[in-house]
Amino acid sequence: MNHALAHGARTPRLAFAGRRSRSLCSHSFSCFLFSASSASSAVKRLHTESNPRAAREQSPVAKRPAKKTPPTPAAPRRFVVGVSGASGAWYAQRLLAILLEQGHEVHLVVSDYGKRLLFDESGIKTIDLESMCPGLYKSLSATQRADATRRLVLHPNKDVGAVIASGSFLHDGMVVIPCSSSSLGAIAIGSGSNLLTRAAMVTLKERRPLIICHREMPLNLIDIRNMETLALAGATICSPNPGFYLLPKSIDDIIDFTVGKVLDLLKVEHDLKTRWEHHDAE
Ligand X SMILES: Cc1cc2nc3c(=O)[nH]c(=O)nc-3n(C[C@H](O)[C@H](O)[C@H](O)COP(=O)(O)O)c2cc1C
At its nearest, how many Å lie between ligand X and the CB of residue 88?
7
Do residues 264 and 271 touch, judged by C-beta distance below 8 A? no
Rule CB under 6 A: is residue 226 a binding residue for ligand X?
Answer: no
Rule CB under 6 A: is residue 182 a binding residue for ligand X?
Answer: yes
By beta-carbon proximity to ligand X, the closer residue of 116 and 273 is 116
Distance CA 275, CA 273 (A): 6
- State how far the alpha carbon of 105 is from the alpha carbons of 3, 11, 28, 170, in Å: 12, 9, 11, 12
The crossing angle, in degrees rounded to 10, of helices 195-205 and 181-188 is 50
At its nearest, how many Å lie between ligand X and the CB of residue 109?
11
- The DSSP bridge partners found for residue 10 are 35
150: helix, strand or coil: helix
How many residues of this chain interact with ligand X, rule: CB under 6 A? 15
| Helix residue ranges per DSSP H, the chain | 3-6, 26-30, 60-63, 89-101, 112-122, 129-132, 134-139, 142-151, 181-188, 195-205, 221-233, 251-266
By beta-carbon proximity to ligand X, the closer residue of 120 and 256 is 120
At its nearest, how many Å lie between ligand X and the CB of residue 271?
29
169: helix, strand or coil: coil
List binders of ligand X among 85-124 (CB under 6 A). Answer: 85-87, 111, 113-114, 116, 120
Q: Which of 23, 84, 93, 122 binds ligand X (CB under 6 A)?
A: 84
Rule CB under 6 A: is residue 10 a binding residue for ligand X?
Answer: no
Rule CB under 6 A: is residue 139 a binding residue for ligand X?
Answer: no
At its nearest, how many Å lie between ligand X and the CB of residue 181?
4
Q: Which of 64, 94, 215, 261 binds ligand X (CB under 6 A)?
A: 215
Angle at 76 between CA 11 and CA 7, to 5 degrees: 55
By beta-carbon proximity to ligand X, the closer residue of 96 and 195 is 195
By beta-carbon proximity to ligand X, the closer residue of 51 and 141 is 51
Rule CB under 6 A: is residue 180 a binding residue for ligand X?
Answer: yes
Residue numbers of the site for ligand X (CB under 6 A)? 84-87, 111, 113-114, 116, 120, 180-183, 215-216
